[in-house]
Amino acid sequence: MSFSSRLRVILRSKSNRALTQLEDPREALDDSYEQQVKMLQQVRLGLAEVATAKKRIELQGQEMGGRYQRLADQAQEALNQGREDLARTALERRSLLEGQVAAIRNQYLALAQQQAQLQDNERRLAERIAAFRTEKETIKATYAASEARVKANEAAAGIGSQMGTVGTDLDRAKDRVAQMQARAAATDELLSSGALSDVTAAPDADLERQLSDGATRADVDRQLQAMKSARAADQGHGARARGGTDAWLSIGQAPTTP
């Protein structure tokens, strides 16, 4: 397999893994859950703001209620003292205060209604998010179990994205072994023929090897001639005893004259 082919296989494998991660439903479920949690936080923040505004108007109404009662007491005290003009002024202020109290009372009731609606929405949204979280975790666990099962089955069957890379690596290793074996055989032939010199050999080693080969051939020719002469002598004088317990000592030594 060429380098470009191996590169395409690697890139295709990585792109498939990237697409698988992008399509992972667990990430989509987690993102959806986070968005719902953010919505719930916004609802709770709005609820807190409405409750704060309602409480502020309530305190203002309580203060105005206290003033309203004081004006009534002041009008009565002025009347008891014969100061009808002061009693009239207190009553006029009290009447004006009634209109202001009515205005903030309407605001207070509107905020109270908004608070009740937000509280109801917050409760229902929280319940829905809790149910979604339970279902989300169930789906994620089921997906994880199925994914593990698929990987185990693919590994057992010898398929899958990882097995494709394993096969490619195995083919590359076989190619390298075949190339190395061919190279070793070629260098053996070159060394034997003398076409490739051994840089680690001693100087003039090629001459020594050729001289050694010539001496070996000469020795073989001498032994062959001696065997022929011995056979002719045996045929002329009859067979003579050979061997003996010490015959092995003469192996490799120059033959005796027949």
Give the start-to-end residue ranges of the domains of the chain: 3-157, 158-196, 202-236
Predicted TM-score (pTM) of this structure: 0.48
pLDDT tens over the chain, length 258 residues:
555 555 555 555 555 555 455 568 888 888 989 999 999 999 999 999 999 999 999 999 999 999 999 999 999 999 898 899 999 999 999 999 998 999 999 999 999 999 999 999 999 999 999 999 999 899 888 888 888 888 888 777 765 555 566 667 777 888 888 888 888 877 777 767 666 665 565 665 666 666 677 777 777 788 888 887 887 777 666 545 555 556 555 555 555 544
Cα torsion 185, 186, 190, 191: sign: negative
CA distance 212 to 8: 56
Cβ-in-10-Å burial (0-12, 13-18, 19+) of 90 comes to buried
Provide CB contacts within 8 A for 143, sequence distance 6+. 25, 26
* Separation CA 215–CA 210 (nearest Å): 9
Contact partners, residue 73, CB within 8 Å, separation at least 6: none
Residue 158, phi-psi category: left (phi > 0), alpha (psi -120 to 50), beta (remainder): left
For residues 163 and 154, the answer to whether their CB atoms sit within 8 Å is yes
